[in-house]
Chains A and B, each alone.
Chain A
Amino acid sequence: MKEERVLLAHGGGGTMMHNLVGETILGKLGNPILNALGDSAVLEFGDRRIAFTTDSFVVQPLFFKGGDIGKLSVCGTVNDLAMAGARPLFLSLGFIVEEGLEGEILERILESIRAAAEEAEVRVVTGDTKVVEKGKADGIYINTSGVGEIRPGVSIAAENAKPGDAVLINGNMGDHGIAVISEREGLSFETEICSDCAPLNHLASRILDVCDEVHCFRDPTRGGVAATLNAIAGQAKVRIELFEKDLPVSPGARGACDLLGFDPLYVPNEGKMLVICPEERAETVLNEMRSDGYGRDSAIIGRVTEEGEGVVLLHTRIGGMRIVDMPYGEQLPRIC
């Protein structure tokens, strides 16, 4: 490791985390499957392909507008599977509980896990519970892992993005990050902002039903749309150009971002997906997305323009152009 100690910034989804994962972790544990660093590992069993993923949840506070740690722990893993083009099937559930957590809180979290699993049509099939002394964990931490079966015939990976592709998103950016930070800091805004936390597997499946040429799905969680598109641009070695006027942000989230000094492009989402597909199919995909409950505000936000250095650029509202860079350090800790 470059640094002597782990800093919060190492968990931020930005360059430092990419270095930690890419150098320190892959350096010891790298193998062809892990090295792909997709949202899910893709495992081949004969002609069947299984997606396998894991995610840990340490959000603080445990409950926020539009969701809680339980819902998040199901949606996060379900979405990672869905972004690999898989139908999520089974989840594992690991709890690390702090001594003294109220039973009622644990039950509320379990109920929300149940409801989210039901909506996503996945089953929790194995689990583990550990309790640690008071003060050693912040209420509860949850880990979920999941497996799903990848739809035959689809090939979804960041490297597939190529010039001539359109970039779409299924709605407003930044609501999750703003909802959690508002709850944590006791901030209130004129319009209440709810987390977008949602399982996206049904939406992803509908998109693949109308367009089997989708090149890439990614959920812009930590580091937001900016970090995710930079990762895609880097892996595919392409230039992605976005149009500021087309970026969907709710007025409430925009106001909150202005006040807090955040850029909505960098604020985490938990119910958003980026879709990269050939431009000529973009309208069809967009219409399908807009007809889904989790895609009403979908928009085409940019294009993949050329091969070369992986970079994301933004055409500003007033006709200028700027870089949309990978975020640095930890912007919003403990958001998921």
Chain B
Amino acid sequence: MTARTPARRCIEEIRSLAEKIPSPPLRLMEVCGTHTVSIARNGIRDILPENISLLSGPGCPVCVTPDGVIDAAISLAEDPRVIIATFGDMMKVPGTEKSLERARAEGADVRMVYSPTDALRFAREYPDRKVVFIAVGFETTQPGNALTIERARADGLKNFFVIPAGKLIPPAMAALLEDSDSRIGGFICPGHVSVIIGADAYAPIVEKYGKPCVVAGFEPEEILEGIAMFLGMAVEERPEVVIQYRQCVDRAGNLRAREILNRVYHPADSEWRGLGVIPESGFELNDEYADYDAFRHFGIEPRPSRERKGCRCGEVLQGKVEPFECALFSRACTPEHAVGPCMVSSEGTCGAYYRYNRKKM
């Protein structure tokens, strides 16, 4: 591991570079839930100069999953033949009528897992049941899901299915910049996703939109150093993709993981909560694995997303409003009685603001 630049030095550098930034203020967007949480937890917004602000983008896999998919998962959970296996964050996301957590309290068999292999284990242990794993996640977690699907096929398991809800980050970044109302000055690119896809994956975005990108780690010092590197590019007006998170990320990414992804999935148009359908932004199963698609097996077509009244999660995910600007935030919408997904997930923007920054100090 490379030694990190001490926080104090990064802060000094950020302050001196920020003085050279012409108005209007510069807004950097992070598109990774782990960054969102680290920024909030470490109070990074507090220590940035006034003309530099951080926006949180669609970096939480749970938050960008359309509520139609959540409702479909709940309807599957209510089928007594089905065991739903899911990461914990998904449990509390409100669907139209209820969450998976509530469905469980009513008798549905919903189990929290830490890995898709746990779901595979259930499929072996309960050959008479149908095990459905909700495969949300970005490029980081999808190779693991893909391997699990390959393993299910190799083992001849006929009672294991996935809800293919995985998404690709770069198409969403491009879609955000296409929006004429966009306030985004550039990106802090996700660290984990970049381990898999490599920093070069962002080059087309820099080329087309002229916005700098920096791939940063997750420790507060790493994020600060990443912001300093970003400001360096902004001041010199030479947008590029630079890597702060050098100990884990290179230009090309993890070729083996990408190969696994390609064996099992292909990119397809996909709906993002709040952002609508984005071309080539979802992981769809290749034909030879299509039997593992839970929606196809059970003949379910998730309905399009429908935001709840007053909920501004969609705009939050696009960096158009801050959670504080939503009338529901911390009133009708709290982590325990969440209206929108950004409040529920541990990586959601509203949840992070609520937990760490809700009372102005």
Chain A contact residues, CB within 8 Å of chain B: 5-9, 14-16, 185, 187, 260-261, 263, 309, 311, 313, 316-323, 325, 328-329
Contacts and interface: CB of A to CB of B under 8 A. Distances in A.
B203 to A, nearest CB: 30
Nearest to B358: A323
Size category of the B interface is: 20 to 34
Of A14, A185, A317, A318, most B-chain CB atoms within 10 Å? A318
Given A317-B220, A329-B92, A9 B101 contact: yes
Interface string B317-361: 000000000000000001110000000001000000011111101
Contacts of B45: 320
Question: What secondary structure prevails in chain B residues at the interface with A?
Answer: helix
Contact of B7 (A16, A309, A317): A317
A170 to B, nearest CB: 25
The 5 closest A-B pairs by CB, nearest first: A320-B43, A328-B335, A318-B7, A322-B356, A318-B220
Contacts of B105: 5-8
Contact of A323 (B47, B346, B357): B357
A323 B355 CA distance: 7
A322 to B, nearest CB: 4
Contacts of B207: none
21 contacts: A5-B102, A7-B101, A7-B105, A8-B105, A16-B336, A316-B220, A317-B7, A318-B42, A318-B220, A318-B221, A318-B224, A319-B8, A319-B11, A320-B44, A320-B46, A320-B47, A322-B41, A323-B355, A323-B358, A325-B356, A328-B335
Nearest to A15: B336
B357 A9 contact: no
Contacts of B357: 322-323
Given A9-B101, A185-B114, A309-B359, 8 more contacts: A5-B102, A261-B346, A317-B7, A319-B11, A320-B47, A321-B43, A322-B42, A328-B335
Contact of B361 (A15, A313, A328, A329): A313
A323 B336 contact: no
Interface string B37-54: 000111111110000000
B42 A329 contact: no
B97 interface: no
A311 B359 CA distance: 9
A263 B334 CA distance: 19
A317 B10 CA distance: 14
B359 A321 contact: no
Nearest to A244: B42
B106 interface: yes
B220 A329 contact: no
Contact of B43 (A9, A260, A261, A316): A316
Interface string B195-229: 00000000000000000000000001100100000
Interface in B227-285: none
Nearest to A328: B335
Contacts of A261: 346
A328 B43 CA distance: 21
B40 A322 contact: yes
A7 B42 contact: no
A317 B102 CA distance: 38
B336 A328 contact: yes
A318 B43 contact: yes
B102 A319 contact: no
B94 to A, nearest CB: 13
Contacts of B114: 185, 187, 260
